[in-house]
Amino acid sequence: MTIRVLLADDQALLRATFRILIDSDPGMTVVAEAADGQEAVELTRRHGPDVVLMDIRMPGTDGLAATTDICSRPELASTRVLILTTFENDQNVAEALRAGASGFLGKDVGADVLLTGIRTVAAGESLLSPTATRALITRFLAAPDDTPLAPPEGLAALTDREREVMALAAHGRSNIEIAEHLVVSPLTVRSHIQRAMSKIGARDRAQLVVVAYQSGLVQPRPYGAG
C-alpha cells in the first residue's frame, strides 16, 4: 500500500526537494504541502495522510502547536507525525514527542535515512533508537522541573515481561536489540510492545516511551550516558 505523505515546511525549495525524493519512491506519494502549522492542520484534516513530515520552526502556528493539534484529533488517530529539526532546540523535540509525534529526523539526513524513517513511522514504530534521541529522552522527558504525569491505570495491567520490554524500549533499544537481549524473536517483542500500547492507551511507541519515563517506570540516566 502506498504511504501518503504531507509536507509541512515554510521553505518552498526544501519542500520541493522532499517531494521529488519521496515521489521517486514507488511506495510513497506526497498528497499535499503546507507552508505553516495552521495550513498543515487544515490539509491533514482534508487529506488524512499516513505521515506528516513536520518542520518545527514555521511562521504563525509552528510545527509544535500543529503536532499537538493533529495528534489530539480522534479522526486523525492513524496519522503519524515525523518531526524535522536542526536540533537548535532539543526541548521542542521532547515536547513534540509528548504531544504525540512519532519521532524526529535532522534536516541533514541522507535520502535513504529519510525514506526509511517515513516507512518506520508509517508502520507504527518510532525513531527512538539513535544515540541523540536517547540523550533527548534522558535530558528532557524526565527533567527535574517537569511535572510527572500520573501513571495511567493501564500500567498496573502490564505483565512483568511487558514492563521489561517497555523499559528496554524507553532506553532506546530497537525491537531487534530487545529480542537479542531477551533471547526471543523480534515478532514476540513487537507483540509485547503492541499489547503494552493497547493497555496504556499510547498511540505509538513514542508515547509508550514518554509514559515509561513520566510514570517513573524508568529512571533517567545521567546526560551523556550510553
57-83: per-residue pLDDT in tens?
898 999 999 999 999 999 999 999 998
Within-domain flag for 140: no
User: Are 160 and 56 in a shared domain?
Assistant: no
Within-domain flag for 44: yes
Number of domains in the chain: 2
Angle (nearest 5°) at CA 117 between 17 and 50 = 85
User: Are 162 and 121 in a shared domain?
Assistant: no
With both helix axes pointing from N to C terminus, report the angle between 205-214 and 160-170 in degrees, rounded to the nearest 10.
Answer: 100
What is the b/e burial string over 198-207, where b = at least 16 CB atoms within 10 angstroms of the residue's CB? ebbebbbbbb
User: Are 55 and 162 in a shared domain?
Assistant: no
Within-domain flag for 220: no
> Residue 21: what pLDDT?
95
Angle (nearest 5°) at CA 55 between 40 and 70 = 40
3-state DSSP percent of the chain in helix, strand and coil, to 5: 50, 15, 35
User: Are 7 and 115 in a shared domain?
Assistant: yes
User: Are 17 and 122 in a shared domain?
Assistant: yes
pTM, full prediction: 0.71
User: Are 99 and 183 in a shared domain?
Assistant: no
> Residue 137: what pLDDT?
57
Within-domain flag for 145: no
CATH code of residue 91? 3.40.50.2300
Quick: pLDDT tens for 7-28: 999 999 999 999 999 999 999 9
Contact (CB, 8 A) for 63 and 70:
no
User: Are 121 and 170 in a shared domain?
Assistant: no
User: Are 64 and 10 in a shared domain?
Assistant: yes
Walking along the chain (226 residues) 10 residues at a time, the average pLDDT comes out as 96 95 96 96 97 92 93 92 73 73 82 90 71 53 49 78 91 84 92 91 78 76 46
Within-domain flag for 141: no
DSSP letter (8 states) at residue 77: T
> Residue 81: what pLDDT?
94
Torsion angles phi and psi, residue 184, rounded to 5: -135, 180
User: Are 108 and 161 in a shared domain?
Assistant: no
d(CA 49, CA 69) in angstroms, rounded, equals 15
With both helix axes pointing from N to C terminus, report the angle between 186-200 and 175-182 in degrees, rounded to the nearest 10.
Answer: 110
Within-domain flag for 155: yes
Within-domain flag for 139: no
Domain ends where: 127, 161, 194?
A: 127
CATH code of residue 169? 1.10.10.10
User: Are 54 and 155 in a shared domain?
Assistant: no
Torsion angles phi and psi, residue 55, rounded to 5: -80, 150
Amino acid at 184: V
Question: What is the domain extent for residue 204?
Answer: 150-214
Within-domain flag for 119: yes
> Residue 209: what pLDDT?
78
> Residue 211: what pLDDT?
82
**Nearest C-alpha neighbor of 128 from the set 136, 139, 118:** 136
> Residue 208: what pLDDT?
83
Torsion angles phi and psi, residue 23, rounded to 5: -70, -20
